[in-house]
Structure 1
Amino acid sequence: MPAVPRRAPKAGIDPDPAKTWLRRAWPLLRAHRALLITSLVLSFAGLIVQVQIPDLVRVGIDDALVERTGSLATYAGLIAVLAVVQGVINYLARLYLLRTAYELEYDLRNVVFGHLMRMSYGFYDRVQSGELMSRATSDIRAVQMYLTFGPSILVQCTIAGIAFALMVSINPLLAVVAMLTMPAIAVLGVRMRKAIFPVSWLIQARLAGVATVVDENIQGVRIVKAFAGEQRQIDTLAGAADRVRWAYTTDAKLRSRWIPVMDNLPRLGLALVLLVGGLMVLEGHATVGTVVAFNSYVLMLQPPFRMLGMIIMMGQRAAASAQRIYDILDTAPDITDRVDAAAPPARGEVRLRDVRFTYPDGTVGLDGLDLHIRPGETVALVGATGSGKSTIGRLAARFYDVTGGQVLLDGVDVRDYPLATLRDRVGIVPDEPFLFSVSLHDNIAFGRPAADRDQVVAAAVAAGADEFIRELPDGYDTVVGERGYTLSGGQRQRVAIARALLVNPPVLILDDATSAVDVRVEHEIHESLRALMSGRTTIMVAHRLATIGLADRVVLIADGRVVADGTHAGLLASEPRYAQVLAATKSDEEVPA
């Protein structure tokens, strides 16, 4: 798959878990402070213009309508000019704010995805993909919304202070009356924040649960249909969706309890202004224009108070989402490069010394296994299911680290290799090949994106994939469906083998890589592999006699240990357990996949 040029994130998340979530996100905001500050300054300028309009209305009413000493058209024109200026400023402010939002989201999404790409196999054994999808989408969006729109809303809320200052300059007593409801709103805001936070966390967690159910059923739709499990899975999703509905309903009840009060308290201030201001006009202590202007100012106070409730809810949801994101970012990869990682010359020698390994779920993979494979040797690993055959390849490629003992490549512990170098030298073809939703050329060239068509075709020929690829409508440019399901299992395996062969690693591990092809196709692949395996160390997890026949040696694995080692004929004559394993898998050879 060709690499797509991209801009690296300008900043990441502060790694100190002792800090608050906002302080940890500060590097991201600081990296984009120019855009954000520009937007906030413009927003503030727009507010300054906005609060001048009611004062101009006050002067116009008193001057042009009451005292009849000024021109009404002049005041109307000035108000229109201010409105246009405010519109232009608000447009620019929103433009820069949205640019900030998208830049922040880009950086945060790349930081999270980059960390996920560095995580080890064990992490994905523990975490559900739907959970990760939720954290990488809706949680990132919740954090982005708060980091960008939160400051903007706070700036918008400053209109209350500006309006109050102007009201004080016009009529201090009436200004105090208009702001009488402010303390009550502040107290309600704090209580609302405490009530909403746990529900916000619950909503995000349950949305992740729905994403997990959907993801698993989309990926496993063939199994669902094969066992007529559609209704059961619909019921499962309905249960997860019902839990989300309950959380959202609880959130709505909390909001419906607090938001109307916070919205209507400023209207109480409006009633007080009309009452007290009207009395002051009657007694000659205020003008009609002053009461009209104060009416506009009180109306200006309503959106900030409404936005205050919004920012409280956004903050609680963002805090919950940020913690879920930080849970991922604070999880260190199990497999990392050592500082002194080396890369000795490649020969292809593999040695396992008293290797012990237990999977994250507690399953014992290997239990004191010793094995030596010489450079250029082809070895078949044979054993019952669960004996530890596939684990050997996973440890050699360092998908996991051993629990005890050592895995050596060319005399050097695999933990001392740079990971990129190790994966170049140890190629592995899994028994369940994965293909991306791109062209077959790009799938085969995944390990070597710069490979040309001739090199890709040569690898496909060696893997027995060239013939069926050329029969496809667009040949090597054919785009396969998701996970490669538009191809048969055997075709996917051949493409996966071609992908590994193109990298041309000194050590090639075939983890039952021809299990999904029929005997004829397997024979063709083996004939190609005979030439390619010359001088290459090859480890084959084998079940079929045809595959075993390619090997120089056969190693019998049982209970995580090597229990027999020799040629096929020698083991068949001297080791009953070897004959039993072959007998158990013989039917696989007789029935084409």
Structure 2
Amino acid sequence: MSTRSSRDVLGRGLRVLGRAIRTEPRLFVIGAIGSSFFGLLVIANSYVVGAVIGHVVVPSFAKGHVGTGELALIAAAFLGISVLRVGSIFGRRLGAGFMQFRLQARYRRAVTRRYLSLPPSWHQQHATGTLLSNANSDVEAAFVPIAPLPFAVGTIVMIFAAVVALFLTDWVLALVGITLFPMLFGLNYIYSRKMSPRQIRAQQMRAKVSAVAHESFDGALVVKTMGREEDESRRFGVFVSELRDALISVGRLRGFFDPTMDALPSLGTLAVLLLGAWRLQSGALSVSELITVSFLFTVLAFPVRAIGWVVAELPRSVAGWERVAAVLAADGDLAYGSSAPAGDGPAELSFESVDFRYGDGPLVLHDVSFTVPPGKTVALVGATGSGKSTIASLAVRLVDPVDGRISVDGLALPSLSEQALASTSALVPQIPFVFDDTVRGNVTLDRPRITDDDAWAAIRLAQAERFVENLPAGIETEVGERGTSLSGGQRQRLTLARALAGHPRLLVLDDATSAVDPRVEADILAALRGGDAGASILVVAYRRATIALADEVVYLEQGKVVATGTHTSLLESVPGYADLVTAYEKAEQERVDA
């Protein structure tokens, strides 16, 4: 962190608090009023203690007895102030607690909504663990100072009232307060400057540890099967050690700051007693006034700490908020129009001179043009890295091309509304994702327009009916996190059923049946091709049997469309295509001949 940024952390932290107050003004006012009332009661209590000792206790010692009425009056005074203080504490904590938790909930929802609105290309540039940290620990850290904030505001009110009370009581002792309070604020300012880079480093390491842990747990199968447990543990240990060191650095500074903050009011009390004794002997001060001022300094120690709590958490708050704000301000949104295709049958998909690149990299697609006619099946075929999955993503508008036009039924994809696009097309990706839910929940995704009949029809079309019926609870079976209770082929059929349940007019299959055996795959594609799905189909295909079922094949090489036609015609006229789709059979024949 630069020197300048560490110096202005107080200003940035106050801006975060200002945003929080503007977001939840009512709750802040409730907390601040309760805290201010508490502070005034602290001062009032000091006067009551001084009056009791000066006008009741000391005279009682002189007389040798104390009257019952006086004791009752003392008890009533202390009881009344205690009841009022309980009420003020309740208001302070109610306002602060509700404010903090509502802000955290609000911004967790905001971060999650932002994640869902950002395109996959943005997510691919950020580790999952870091994204989890943004939505969880960063949001929490951003609003940690909210809990003591109303108390700190009330403490400021109390300090000003205390200074006025001190001057009204004795100007010499008031000078001690005038000296003490700037020292407290100065110490807090220095502390915030020193703490800022430490807290930011700690927050960064929290995110890194979360990212590494998530990666390790997600890849547990690879780690176990490759015998990398010890190496992965050591890798994780390095980041945990760095987090430990960062937190120790925070703790060391706080260990110096906290006792110093505790000591200053105590030193002020000692100075008041020394000066007060001298003033008492000279007759400039009464016993009641000395007790009032001394008691006031004693009880100020704890409330003044509230300011320190806020300032102490500002660096962490700034670090958390800036990471959250970076997500909320992230660009890359896809702008949607308001149009919707007019038809309700299979849709036509057209690519016209489409170019695409990832970020600032080279073009991965160049001048790609082809059409998926309504109700037809078109297969994308090409070697690994030729751009097939990129075309699949472009077809459902997960990303936009850098040049060219992609349209559905003649309407450019950017002109469609988000709802129209989602209801028109569906993508079944290479890697199936299954939620920790029932089979029914995974197929319907709580979409209100999808009935049980729709779900079962989609399950049958995806050739998943038999295995679903054989599950312990049938369609109500919980499949576990990421569908761990299912095989790879079953997960693929379940995600296919999910896409079909929405009755898409365009179905994009990105090698979506690679984990099922060829016979089941043929049944699936035959059912889809038979028209029961009511959709045009764009399929990224590798198996020769799958390709042969397509009405047309688009053959790609290095991001360019080399040839289009039927499978048979391309086998005869395009050597590169013939070599690719017959490579497996040739390798098997060579093995047999050998």
TM-score by length of 1: 0.91
Aligned to 1:497: 496
Report the CA distance shift for 1:28/1:47 in structure 2 as closer, same or farther (over 3 A): closer
C-alpha displacement of 1:212: 0.5
Contact 1:181 1:265 in 2 (8 A): yes
State the alpha-carbon separation in 2 of the partners of residues 135 and 393 from structure 1. Answer: 30
Q: Secondary structure of 1:565's match?
A: strand
Q: Is the 8 A contact 2:152 2:304 kept in 1?
A: no
Distance apart, 1:272 and its partner CA: 0.8
Q: How far, CA to CA, are the matches of 1:588 and 1:149 in structure 2? A: 71
1:463 corresponds in structure 2 to 462
Instruction: State the distance in 1 between where 2:586 and 2:276 align.
Output: 96
Indicate conservation of the 8 Å contact 1:427/1:508, yes or no. Answer: yes
The answer to whether the Cα contact below 8 Å between 2:37 and 2:154 also exists between their aligned partners in 1 is: no
Q: Which amino acid aligns with 1:139?
A: D
> What residue number does 2:222 align with?
223
Q: Which residue of 1 aligns with 2:339?
A: 342
- Residues of 2 paired with 1:20 and 1:266: CA distance? 28
Q: Give per-residue Cα distances to partners, 1:233-291, cap 9 Å, x unaligned.
A: 21111111111122212222322333332321221111111111122223333233333
Instruction: Check the 8 A contact 2:34/2:90 in 1, yes or no.
Output: no
Question: In the alignment, is the contact (CA less than 8 A) between 1:160 and 1:304 conserved in 2?
Answer: no
What's the CA shift for 1:532?
A: 3.5
Residue 57 (structure 1) aligned to one of 49, 63, 81: 49
Q: Where does 1:190-589 land on structure 2 (aligned, <5 Å)? A: 190-338=189-337, 341-346=338-343, 348-360=347-359, 362=361, 364-446=363-445, 448-532=447-531, 536-586=535-585
CA RMSD in angstroms comes to 2.4
Q: Deviations over 1:387-411 (max 9, x none)?
A: 1111111111111110221112212
Tell me whether 407-416 or 459-468 shows the greater mean CA deviation: 407-416
Q: Which runs of 5+ in 2 are unaligned?
A: 1-10, 61-65, 590-594
Is the 8 Å Cα contact of residues 353 and 405 (structure 1) preserved in structure 2? Answer: yes
Residue aligning to 1:7: none
Equivalent residue letter for 2:31: S
Moved more, 68-77 or 576-585: 68-77
Task: Write the distance in 2 (CA, Å) between the matches of 1:21 and 1:278.
Answer: 43
Amino acid at match of 1:342: S
CA offsets, 1:49-105, max 9 Å, x none? 222122111111122122349713321331122112211331233123212222222
Change (3 A) 1:548 1:73: same
Q: Deviations over 1:346-386 (max 9, x none)?
A: 45112212211112373643122121222111111111111
Match of 1:42 in 2: 34
Deviations 1:448-495 (A, max 9, x none): 344221211111011011111111111111122112222111000000
Counterpart CA distance in 1 for 2:161 and 2:329 is: 42
2:141 aligned residue: 142
Q: Deviations over 1:193-239 (max 9, x none)?
A: 22111222211111111110111122221122121222122111111
TM-aligned CA distance change 1:473 to 1:377, over 3 Å: same
Aligned length: 570
Q: Distance in 1 between matches of 2:355 and 2:574?
A: 24
Query: What CA deviation, in whole Å up to 9, does each residue of 1:129-156 have, x standing for no partner?
Result: 1111111111111222224532432323
Query: CA, structure 1 residues 511+25, in 2 after alignment: closer, same or farther (shift >3 Å)?
Result: farther
Secondary structure of 1:67's match? helix
Contact 1:142 1:318 in 2 (8 A): yes
| Contact residue 197 and residue 316 of structure 1 kept, 8 A | yes
Letter in 1 for 2:30: T
CA contact (8 A) 1:375 1:535 kept: no
Give the Cα separation in 2 of the matches to 1:477 and 1:115.
32
Give the counterpart letter for 1:240 in structure 2: F
**In 2, are the aligned partners of 1:348 and 1:506 still within 8 Å (CA)?**
yes
What is the distance in 2 between the residues matched to 1:277 and 1:188? 26
Distance in 2 separating the partners of 1:509 and 1:589: 31
Distance 1:21 1:531, change over 3 A: farther
* CA distance, structure 1, for counterparts of residue 378 and residue 298 of structure 2: 82
Question: Does structure 2 retain, via aligned residues, the 8 Å contact 1:348–1:536?
Answer: yes
Question: Residues 10-35 of structure 1, C-alpha deviation per residue, up to 9 Å, x if partnerless?
Answer: xxxxxxxxx96755775653342122
In the alignment, the residues of structure 2 paired with residue 137 and residue 505 of structure 1 have an alpha-carbon distance, to the nearest angstrom, of: 35
Q: What one-letter code is carried by the residue in structure 2 that aligns with 1:192?
A: Y
Asked if structure 1 preserves the Cα contact closer than 8 Å seen for 2:155 and 2:307, the reply is no
Q: Which letter does structure 1 place at the counterpart of 2:340?
A: A
Of the structure 1 ranges 441-450 and 203-212, higher mean CA displacement relative to structure 2 is found in 441-450
Cα drift, residue 127 of structure 1: 1.1
Larger CA deviation: 509-518 vs 61-70: 61-70
* Runs of 5+ unmatched residues, structure 1: 1-18
Closer, same or farther in 2 for the Cα pair 1:281/1:28, shift >3 Å? Answer: closer
452-461 vs 521-530, which moves further: 521-530
Tell me if the contact between 2:203 and 2:320 (Cα under 8 Å) persists in the aligned partners: yes
What is the identity, as a one-letter code, of the residue corresponding to 1:66?
Answer: V
1: distance between equivalents of 2:446 and 2:558?
34
Partner-residue secondary structure (3-state), 1:181: helix
Match of 2:4 in 1: none
Equivalent position SS for 1:402: coil
* C-alpha separation in 1, matches of 2:587 and 2:129: 35
The answer to whether the Cα contact below 8 Å between 1:544 and 1:586 also exists between their aligned partners in 2 is no
Residues 389 and 230 of structure 1, relative CA distance in 2, 3 Å threshold: same
CA distance in 1, matches of 2:545, 2:587: 11
Given the superposition, is the C-alpha separation of residues 113 and 362 from structure 1 closer, same or farther in structure 2, using an over 3 Å criterion? Answer: same
C-alpha contact 1:376 1:534 (8 A) present in aligned 2: no
Query: CA-to-partner distance for each residue in 1:286-308, whole Å, 9 max, x for gaps?
Result: 23333332222111221233232
CA contact (8 A) 2:38 2:154 kept: no
Closer, same or farther: CA 517–586 of 1 in aligned 2, 3 Å: farther
Structure 2: which amino acid aligns with 1:89? S
User: Which range moves more in the overlay, 33-42 or 288-297?
Assistant: 288-297
Is the 8 Å Cα contact of residues 13 and 315 (structure 2) preserved in structure 1? no
Deviations 1:486-519 (A, max 9, x none): 2111000000110111111111111111100112
Sequence identity (%): 32
Give the Cα separation in 2 of the matches to 1:83 and 1:20: 38
Task: Give secondary structure in 1 for the equivalent of 2:421.
Answer: helix
**Mean Cα displacement is larger for which, 578-587 or 183-192?**
578-587
SS of the aligned residue for 2:302 comes to: helix
Distance in 1, Cα, partners of 2:419 & 2:412: 15
Distance 1:507 1:115 in 2: 27
**3-state SS of 1:432 partner:** coil
SS at match of 2:41: helix
Letter in 1 for 2:562: V
- Partner letter of residue 54 of structure 2? D
* CA–CA separation in structure 1 for the residues paired with 2:334 and 2:17: 26
Tell me the CA shift for residue 336 of structure 1. 1.9
